[in-house]
Structure 1
Amino acid sequence: MLIYMIRHGQTDWNAEGRLQGQKDIGLNDTGRAQARHNGETLRTLLADQVEAFDFVASPLSRTRETMQIARTAIGLDPLAYRTDERLVELSFGDWEGHTLDEIRALAPERLKERSRQKWNFIPPGVDAESYEILSWRVAAFLQAVEQPTVCVSHGGVIRSVLKLVGGWNELDAARCDIHQDRVLIIERDHGRVEWL
């Protein structure tokens, strides 16, 4: 199954290095430009096959705006897509809204623990998740994909895809760069994940 996945465009919190998680933060101008660029890339990739594709996004505003801008660049109705809760970013719990430097000042030992076990680390807070927990949601989404799909989601979701489909180890999946200005091609049945 073919999926073109993009991460939402940049937000001010991305630029400041703040953990966003499930906080609903909108795009900044750089993020809107990234979304347009990704839409132009998708227009070329989809060409005359666009009608065969499902379009789905995380319900957070930064992913929905990215999808709407990308669909406009493709030449499609910006609002004709669906959302899926399984694509929401992982929750950083009580750490959301903080930079790593701020967390280091408040809880240096917990941050060291996260550094050692980033994939399985659960931040403090009742709703907090690890990448492993997030990957359960992502796996359910991937299993439900029945047609070629364009998906707009988050960095943690893409990390999960790299591990689940690409077979990446936990350390590499947790620590790699997740681009906001490139399209990730996913061929689930062949284990292919590749940035275009």
Structure 2
Amino acid sequence: MNDFPKIWFLRHGETEWNAEGRIQGQMESDLTERGIAQAHHQAELVRPILQREAPPCLVSPLRRAQQTAKIALGGAAFDTDPRLAEVQAGVFQGLTRAEIAATYPEIHARAQTNLDLFCAAPEGEGYATFHARVLTLLQALKAPTLIVAHGLWGQVMRGIICGLDYDELADLPNEQGCVYRLENGCETALR
């Protein structure tokens, strides 16, 4: 198990495409009213952390994470890092799962989880490259850090920190509106 600093991880709030069941990957979609409310709830959870610990904050460059960070961090300064972008899901970006099932039935049938599906996308980033990108960011962290990014990005990060194998990390929940605290190889969800 690697020795990473403490991390507080926030997945962005629900987006229009999340609500429609549409694959976003690195495409853009705005927060829904529910997503905005989730970000406000995260702000309540994060406020004492920001006051007590004052960690550096890193945020994905994608709009939904930026929107979430502006609310959840309550005006605290943050840096944007391109390594925090969600997995690039190739030709699946913009499609619903039903559209993928109709057009790519073999891939859809093999994909047991969202991570399987996104990483199997033709012209996509693929798991090995995605995992390496997440690990590179984690290895660059020098101090406890607050991160605002994406569901699958968070699953891979959380799996790396907790020493999980692929199947275990692919099955992790992807909650919105909470904060995952990762420390000493363990995860706690703050709700």
- The normalised TM-score by structure 1 is 0.87
Report how far residue 119 of structure 1 moved.
Answer: 8.1
- Mean Cα deviation higher: 24-33 or 106-115: 106-115
* Equivalent-residue separation in structure 1 for 2:89 and 2:101 (angstroms): 15
Give 1:111's aligned amino acid: H
Q: How many residue pairs end up in the alignment?
A: 185
Superposed structure 1 runs of 4+ greater than 4 Å apart: none
Contact 2:87 2:119 in 1 (8 A): no
Equivalent residue number for residue 109 of structure 1: 106
SS of the residue aligned with 2:130? helix
SS of the residue aligned with 1:118? helix
1:89 aligns with 2:86: yes
Equivalent residue number for residue 192 of structure 1: 186
Structure 2: gaps spanning 5 or more residues: none
- Give the alignment of 1:34-183 within 5 angstroms: 34-50=38-54, 53-72=55-74, 76-77=75-76, 80-115=77-112, 118=116, 121-125=119-123, 128-183=124-179
Q: Deviations over 1:33-53 (max 9, x none)?
A: 101101110113344332xx1
Report how far residue 130 of structure 1 moved.
Answer: 2.5
Change (3 A) 1:119 1:171: farther
SS of the residue aligned with 1:151? strand
Change (3 A) 1:195 1:130: farther
Contact 2:87 2:118 in 1 (8 A): no
* Equivalent-residue separation in structure 2 for 1:84 and 1:120 (angstroms): 21
Equivalent residue number for residue 36 of structure 2: 32
* Equivalent-residue separation in structure 2 for 1:99 and 1:177 (angstroms): 20
Give 1:176's aligned amino acid: L
* Equivalent-residue separation in structure 1 for 2:100 and 2:118 (angstroms): 18
Change (3 A) 1:184 1:120: same
Contact 1:185 1:193 in 2 (8 A): yes
Contact 1:183 1:195 in 2 (8 A): yes
* Equivalent-residue separation in structure 2 for 1:173 and 1:119 (angstroms): 14
Q: Deviations over 1:55-103 (max 9, x none)?
A: 110000100110100122xxx44xx211001100001100111111111
Give 2:144's aligned amino acid: P
